[in-house]
Structure 1
Amino acid sequence: MYELLFWKYLEGVYLNHQEVYQALEVEPTIEGLEALPVQVILNRIASVFSKWEKVDDTSWKNTAGVGAFHVRTTPQSIQIDCYGTEGKTMDKLVDIMDEFKCPLYDPQVPERYDEMSE
């Protein structure tokens, strides 16, 4: 499994990304993060991956190739667990979240890919 995690800071707020990641595992909301339009994001993912089999409300499986992913949400974050998913598919998920101005935090590295990481 490969985790992709997304959240958006409130304007002027910069927190330790690793600490935010760890806090999101146990806290439903975190001070300093924006609320996300979770249902709109899920609808967008469903639209982009309409050719994939929708296993349930938050899981998709590629019937024409390899890979599957499951989306876990909090009011302030989107976590996508990828299973055997190709890089181009993960890039597509990152692009969708970029539309909502939510940069990728890759806990495997660990690194957050946004303009504030420079």
Structure 2
Amino acid sequence: MYELLFWKYIDEVYLNHQEVYESLVENEPVEGLEELPVQVIVNRISNAFAQWEKVDEFSFKNTKGVGAFHIITTPQSIQINCYGTEGKTMNKLCDIMTEFKCPLYDPQVPVRYDEFEE
């Protein structure tokens, strides 16, 4: 499994990314983060992966290739657990989240990629 996590800071707030990550995966609210339009984001991902089998509202399986992913949400975050998913698929997920100004936090590294290209 490869885990991707996304959140958005309130303007001028900058916290310890690892501590934010740990709180979010425990479903604890974090002061300094914006609430996300979770359903809008899930719908956007669902539309972008319309060719994939939708196992349930939050789980997608690539029937024409490899990989699957599962979305876990909190009011402040989107976590996507990828299973055998290709890099280009993970990049597509990151691009979608960039549309919502939510950069990737990669807990495997651990690094937050919060430099947006305008």
| Equivalent residue runs for 1:29-108 within 5 Å | 29-108=29-108
Structure 2 distance, partners of 1:95, 1:23, is: 24
Q: TM-score, normalised by structure 2?
A: 0.96
How far is 1:26 from its partner? 1.9
For the aligned residues, what is the CA RMSD? Answer: 1.1
Letter in 1 for 2:34: E
Within 2, Cα distance between the matches of 1:45 and 1:95?
Answer: 10
* Partners of 1:2 and 1:81 within 8 A in 2: yes
In structure 2, stretches of 5+ residues that fail to align are none
2 CA distance for matches of 1:13 and 1:47? 32
| Alignment partners' CA distance in 2, 1:26 and 1:84 | 24
**How many equivalent residue pairs?**
116
Q: Could you tell me how far apart the structure 2 residues matched to 1:72 and 1:27 are?
A: 10
**Could you tell me the TM-score, scaled by structure 1's length?**
0.96
Aligned residues of 1:28 and 1:75 also touching (Cα < 8 A): no
| Amino-acid identity (%) | 74
Please state how far the C-alpha of 1:29 moved relative to its aligned partner.
Answer: 1.5
